[in-house]
Amino acid sequence: MAPDGPARIANYLDWLGPCGAYRVTNYDRDGEVKDERTVTTVGGSARSRRR
């Protein structure tokens, strides 16, 4: 683990909080969509729903 790992995680969670929702898309090596999901942040945590 990086020495500043906990601080990085805290900063990431602070960044996610105001978003409300965002989309995560993974691509395969050919550039095709492999997996896509919508994530909704609720009370400082994230809940994921795959498509």
Tell me, yes or no, whether 10 lies in a domain. Answer: yes
Model-level pTM? 0.43
Question: What is the rounded CA–CA span in Å between residue 42 and residue 26?
Answer: 23
pLDDT digits 0-9 by tens, 11-48: 877 877 777 888 889 999 999 999 999 888 776 555 55
Tell me, yes or no, whether 48 lies in a domain. Answer: no
Total domains, the chain: 1
Residue-number span of the structural domain to which 14 is assigned: 5-40
The dihedral sign for the CA sequence 50, 24, 26, 32? positive
Per-residue pLDDT, 24: 87
Tell me, yes or no, whether 14 lies in a domain. Answer: yes
Tell me, yes or no, whether 34 lies in a domain. Answer: yes
